[in-house]
Amino acid sequence: MAVETISLPSIDLANFPANLEKLTAAATGHEISMELNTEAWAAASSFSRLSDDIKLRNRDIIYGSGFMSFGDLMPLLESFVVYDATSTADVLAFCSSMEASTINVHVLTVDIASKVAEGLACVGCSFQDWPCTTSLNVFHFAEESIGLDAAELRTDSG
């Protein structure tokens, strides 16, 4: 099997603002349109305004796969998770429990996964039949939260 090499950008953080463009390109080169990014932000933000009883309807299938509220480990973060975004039943259950629209959640998740894979030089990968856990994370930052950890360091459940 041939080994493929990729080149990661080298960004000299001490040489600013000369390298600002390189850093911006590295951080935003994900090809997600501003329109889609804005729509996703608005959807996640709308979930944070729901009442606690509605939020708690999004239950865990495995630990960390439902609604995760503020706490000692995540003082600034609320997380809403669709356990398997490729499962129409899971998407419908999530949207129903959260009183949300089902607008293309599955298609969007698979499309984003495909673009990330392509960006990692994994061309032609199909995620159509893969379970894809999708998290909508809402960070509640304020001036007094500067310097605090927003969430615990972790890997995803599963």
In a domain, 134, yes or no: yes
What does each of the 158 residues of the chain score in pLDDT, given as a tens digit?
Answer: 566 665 656 767 667 667 767 766 665 555 667 777 777 777 767 777 777 777 777 666 666 556 666 665 666 667 777 666 667 777 777 777 766 665 556 666 676 667 666 666 677 777 777 766 666 666 666 777 677 666 555 545 54
Count up the domains in the chain and report the number: 1
- Give the structural domain span for 133: 32-142
In a domain, 147, yes or no: no
Model's pTM, two decimal places? Answer: 0.38
Place of tokens 């000692």: 72
In a domain, 1, yes or no: no
Place of tokens 């040489």: 15
In a domain, 15, yes or no: no
In a domain, 48, yes or no: yes
In a domain, 124, yes or no: yes
CB neighbour burial string for 80-92, b if at least 16 within 10 angstroms, e if fewer: bbbbbbbeeebbe
Q: 32: buried, middle or exposed (CB in 10 Å: 19+, 13-18, 0-12)?
A: middle
Place of tokens 């894809």: 132
In a domain, 80, yes or no: yes
In what helix (H) or strand (E) does residue 82 lie, and over which residues does it extend? strand 77-82
